Structure 1
């Protein structure tokens, strides 16, 4: 069965997007708000269905986590309210700053988070006044086409504009590059740390790009250890740790190591602290060139332990493994429910290790400490796009109550957690001669 706004060729998709944009430009902000409201209402009817389809196609993560992040993306992605106008008045001039659309946006999606990122980007891009061409990962093409049909149908029903959001029936590196380099495409939004992000920066147009991540969190001797363990497990186990922001490494001040280990085990963490089991885990999680085994990306703890041949009993949320700071588990982003635990002699060494492990990617980091001075030192030193103090990594992208949600973290181009205002051009308009009522 054919789906709405799914095209076989790049040219057809771009032509349709151009026609839709021409009509969309004639609408006002209130019309955009109506469209986004209708989208939210319609998408809420499909949350569980989309989570199931995403899981079945990508074979990564877990359905409960996907339901949660899809729902949050629908409900808490900022819309037109994010486009805040500014006015400056002087005696002889009024200067107005407002946000205008770029035009046609190409949004490149990751395999790890296809549904929530599509919804998050689509709402933000439409709020900014753009039309959208979605470029899914080949591993998530079918569920993206299904979602595009839902979105496009809801928009058509609301405002009569067809193809405001489109995608391709098949995707490849070649087709994505054709869209990126096309002269009618004005904005590139790239989520994830793939090679395509590097290509985007060569296209001579506006690029908002994420990049690789290796989120590292410090736990010092002043921390609330039980709370820290709970936050770390909540983040690192979420959707089997395939989100780019979730905890990958924990640097622990060694004086509290035993207490921290006990706290993790209370949170249903399978702890590996022997060389024999660490070696077993390494053999299956790493390839011969010491890179992550993509076959096990997003798999469950049970599947990973079974593949490793490690004896266990019970149900676990996460695997923690003691490693040196140069181990591939610590320096590579595994995208599995596995965290590396690295011991440091004190806070200063822990911060040094953390900075080394984050590798200057400036994506995500955090600290658990009751020292205000250390909280500030760590935040200033790490210089990451997202920094979390005494919380869970998920808090950093809007999972805490009332915060806006963002699933594109533009660490490569510097916008950080993105929203509608990042997907628009900030323009300055000056009116000369008196225009002040003061």
Structure 2
């Protein structure tokens, strides 16, 4: 018997979208307290499987470090869940009694979500929690390479969510995943929002749907070390960040930019912390591993330890080497080190001063048009301020490891596993995505003055003029007379039922 997986996936996508649409209508009536109870129940249920899920995803992808994946899973189940408590997302979320204004949080409806290979379990858990928290239904289209891990964690959460009262259909996933099925799901009229994390191929499909998109994109994040920085701490932060899950965190540093006056000191400290500066020949051999001639990323390079990468490239480094570093001068379309490398590999640039370093960082940020994250290590508040004002980037992290600072573990940014990209046109937000990004705000404004009261402004303005400003006063008077005429006409229409 021949089975057409495309047709099967398309049909399943339609059923899931329609079921989610009907189920979300019921969910939209839930008060915040009931939504919160479901979130807590789901988080507690999946936390019990955090370690086994980390092991499963590491084995399935053959990348990263399971202990670090376990840390990410626990971070979402505990720290994120704690942060969600008390957050009001639906119903009355703001009230200004003095000005007679009110904000009502309204779920967007049905969300389609794609999870990445890099953090499949923690990202899936996170998106589920924030979708339920904000009263939305969510349907996942899992990445085929991590289908086992994503489907398993979703099965755990679906069972727990239903037991806690979530309407059936509000949390679901495609179990026959094809490009045609994913496209059908995103294009379905029942879907309001699409969330894409670290899957550039899915972004193109999402853009064709015409729907609102939240893009947790890839990024070529530079780390600038300025001369006033604590060099030892800066290097320690960068190495710690870049080796976390073997460099797969979306906000992890991809390159280091240093002022030339401290470059030798920084290089020496890097070597003391386990970094290996490759020769030009070695860096070219390693570069050949990463991308195909057409630009696609090759398999077998993401989340791989430094020593293993070196062996695959044809040279050897000590087993205790943590990060491979390639010295570079220019940002180039043909140089892989100008792109995001989801592994413990860094480019190293020297610049004369912080202003030239600033330009280099802009080049790197715009190279892949994602402008995701930039980190700076400095003790000069004015330099930090100038970087904050001028960099085309979604988030600027100061004196912190970027992998942890970006996700809100070592900063007070919202703790998130989906980080919006800063580039216009690729997504609707550059935020650390939270439940607040999954609602729209209905504005309520009470009448505080009559139309007749508005006409009184004429008298006030006429008497506030100055004798030496006759022309201005005359123009203002004409404008007010015109406004008064319009208001009178509007009142007449309102009071005359024959005109309705």
Shared fold (TM-score, shorter chain, > 0.5): yes
Equivalent in the alignment of 2:213: 207
Q: CA deviation at 1:121?
A: 1.1
Q: Residue 3 of structure 1 corresponds to which residue in structure 2? A: none
- Answer with 275-284 or 390-399: which moved more: 275-284
TM-fit CA distance, 1:32: 0.6
For the pair 1:351 / 2:358, whether they are aligned, the reply is yes
1:396 aligns with 2:406: yes
1:282: how far off?
2.2
Rounded to whole Å, the distance in 2 between the matches of 1:318 and 1:390 is 20
CA shift in 2, pair 1:47/1:401, >3 Å: farther
* CA–CA distance in structure 2, aligned partners of residues 150 and 421 of structure 1: 25
1:100 alignment partner, SS class? strand
Contact preservation (8 Å) 1:82, 1:419: no
- The reply to whether residue 363 of structure 1 matches residue 376 of structure 2 is no
Contact persistence 1:292–1:332 (CA under 8 A): no
Are the counterparts in 1 of residues 20 and 137 from structure 2 also a CA contact under 8 Å? yes
Partner of 1:294: 299
- Check conservation: 1:7, 1:168, Cα contact below 8 A: no
Q: 2:73: which partner in 1?
A: 70
**1:198 match:** 204
Choose which of 303, 306, 313 in structure 2 pairs with 1:308.
313
In the other structure, the counterpart of 1:166 is 172
Tell which has more relative contact order, 1 or 2 (C-alpha 8 A, sep 6+). 1
Q: Structure 1 residue aligned with 2:97, among 81, 89, 95? A: 89
Question: How far is the alpha carbon of 1:169 from its aligned partner?
Answer: 1.0
Q: Distance in 1 between matches of 2:373 and 2:70?
A: 23
Equivalent in the alignment of 1:220: 226
- Note if contact 1:367-1:389 (Cα within 8 Å) is conserved in structure 2: yes
The answer to whether the 8 A contact 1:323-1:329 is kept is no
Task: Please say if 1:21 is aligned against 2:24.
Answer: yes
Q: Deviations over 1:257-310 (max 9, x none)?
A: 2211121122222222x2222222223334345664333122111210111222
Is the partner of 1:112 in helix, strand or coil?
coil
Q: Is the 8 A contact 1:100 1:424 kept in 2?
A: yes
In structure 2, which of residues 312, 321, 325 is the aligned counterpart of residue 320 of structure 1?
325
Distance 1:162-1:168 versus aligned 2 partners, 3 A rule = same
The structural deviation recorded for 1:8 is 7.7
1:406 to 398, 413, 416: 416
Q: Does 1:176 align with 2:182?
A: yes
- Equivalent-residue separation in structure 2 for 1:313 and 1:189 (angstroms): 41
CA contact (8 A) 1:325 1:357 kept: no
Is 39-48 or 289-298 further displaced after alignment? 289-298
Q: How many residues align?
A: 426
Aligned partner (choices 413, 428, 434) of residue 443 of structure 2? 428
Deviations 1:105-142 (A, max 9, x none): 11111121111111111111111100110111111111
Q: Aligned to 1:186, what secondary structure does the other structure show? A: strand
Task: State the Cα deviation string for residues 343-387 of structure 1 (Å, max 9, x = none).
Answer: 112111111111101115321001111111111111211131111
Gap change, CA 1:193 and 1:364, over 3 Å in 2: farther
The residue aligned with 1:339 is 346
Q: Is the contact between residue 152 and residue 163 of structure 1 (CA under 8 Å) also seen in structure 2?
A: no
Cα distance in 2 for partners of 1:401, 1:418 equals 15
Give 5+ residue unaligned stretches, structure 2. 1-8, 450-500
Task: Please say if 1:98 is aligned against 2:104.
Answer: yes
Query: Which residues of 2 match residues 40-55 of structure 1 at below 5 A?
Result: 40-55=43-58
8 Å Cα contact 1:379-1:387 kept in structure 2: yes
Instruction: Sort the Cα spacing of 1:7 and 1:120 in 2 relative to 1 into closer, same or farther, 3 A.
Output: farther
User: SS in structure 2 opposite 1:387?
Assistant: strand
How far 1:423 sits from its partner (Å)?
A: 0.6
Q: Indicate if the aligned counterparts of 1:65 and 1:239 stay in contact, CA closer than 8 A.
A: yes
1:267 aligns with 2:303: no
- For the 8 Å contact 1:32–1:80, the answer to whether it is kept is no
Tell me what 1:126 maps to.
132
Distance 1:212 1:44 in 2: 27
Structure 1 stretches lacking a partner, 5+ long: 1-5
1:233 aligns with 2:243: no
Q: TM-score normalized by structure 1?
A: 0.91
Mapped to 1, the partners of 2:198 and 2:417 lie a distance apart of 10
More off after superposition, 275-284 vs 95-104: 275-284
- 1: CA distance between counterparts of 2:305 and 2:432? 28
On the 8 A contact 1:330/1:357 being kept in 2, the answer is no
Once residues 160 and 342 of structure 1 are traced to their aligned partners in structure 2, the CA distance between those partners, rounded to angstroms, is 52
Deviation digits for residues 49-102 of structure 1 (CA, Å, limit 9, x no counterpart): 110111111222111110111111122334363336221235xx7221121111
Corresponding residue number in structure 1 for 2:113:
107
Contact preservation (8 Å) 2:10, 2:180: no
Deviation, structure 1 residue 313: 2.3
Question: What is the rounded CA distance, in whole Å, between the counterparts of 2:430 and 2:264 in structure 1?
Answer: 39
TM superposition score normalised by structure 2: 0.80
1:201 match: secondary structure: helix
Q: Does 1:281 align with 2:291?
A: no
Contact 1:297 1:335 in 2 (8 A): yes
